[in-house]
Amino acid sequence: MIALKSDALVFATARGELIPCSAESVVVELVGDSATQLDPQMLREAASAVLHYFKVELGKPCVTVGEFAQVLARILRGFGLRVRESTADANPVPGPGTDLRTLAAGPAASTELFFYHRLRSALRDQLSVRPEAVRFSGLRGCVQRLAGARRWCKRCQRLQDHIVEYLRCCLDRESRSIDCLLIVR
């Protein structure tokens, strides 16, 4: 997995695309020409505050441009600036998908053989509604549970790589007529 810069968020578009972008870049795009009339330091601080709010306080690494614009407008109003309501799309990002830790839970799933069967079934369930993105979360906890490890080790890394590769292969086979993203975190 590629680490996201500390000053960036993943923005979801109306079409379901996920685009990593720095918060400052989005602020400049949202504010437009009036950015030259505002203090650049104030814009940086506002972007930093919105970034902190979503990433740290809400724990959301992925937001829509509309959500970001609404919070930014609230902050800029707090500085006494007049800000128009955003017309950007404020649709929430689809749910988290499948939690891999729950697939690895239980006595039957403690072996990798049963886990992979449940994983493929979960992938098929998500694909049955023809999504734009298939989401799996809890990879690290799942891997440690399957490996029986308290700390991350080379075996955990190999197992993690194998699970991601398995998901990629299954997605290729199962979604021939569907063009969708695979998101594993």
- In angstroms, the Cα distances linking 20 to 7, 12, 57, 63, 171 are 10, 9, 19, 10, 23
Residue 20 lies in a domain: yes
Closest CA to 64 of 52, 54, 78: 54
Same domain, 136 and 169: yes
Same domain, 66 and 109: no
Closest CA to 97 of 140, 138, 135: 135
Residue 179 lies in a domain: yes
Between 39 and 31, the more confident residue is: 39
Closest CA to 12 of 138, 96, 127, 122: 96
Same domain, 31 and 109: no
- Structural domain tally of the chain? 2
pLDDT band, very low/low/confident/very high, at 1 (cuts 50, 70, 90): very low
Model pLDDT, residue 108: 58
Residue 26 is inside which H or E element, if any? helix 23-31
Model pLDDT, residue 87: 45
Q: Which domain holds residue 66?
A: 8-78
Beta bridge partners of 64: 12
Model-level pTM greater than 0.75?
no
**Per-range mean pLDDT, top range of 72-81, 98-107, 135-144:** 135-144
Rg (CA), the chain: 20
Residue ending a domain, among 25, 43, 78, is 78
pLDDT average, residue stretch 70-94: 63
Same domain, 65 and 119: no
Residue 151 lies in a domain: yes
Query: Per residue in 127-181, pLDDT tens?
Result: 887 777 889 999 999 999 999 999 999 999 999 999 999 999 999 888 776 778 8
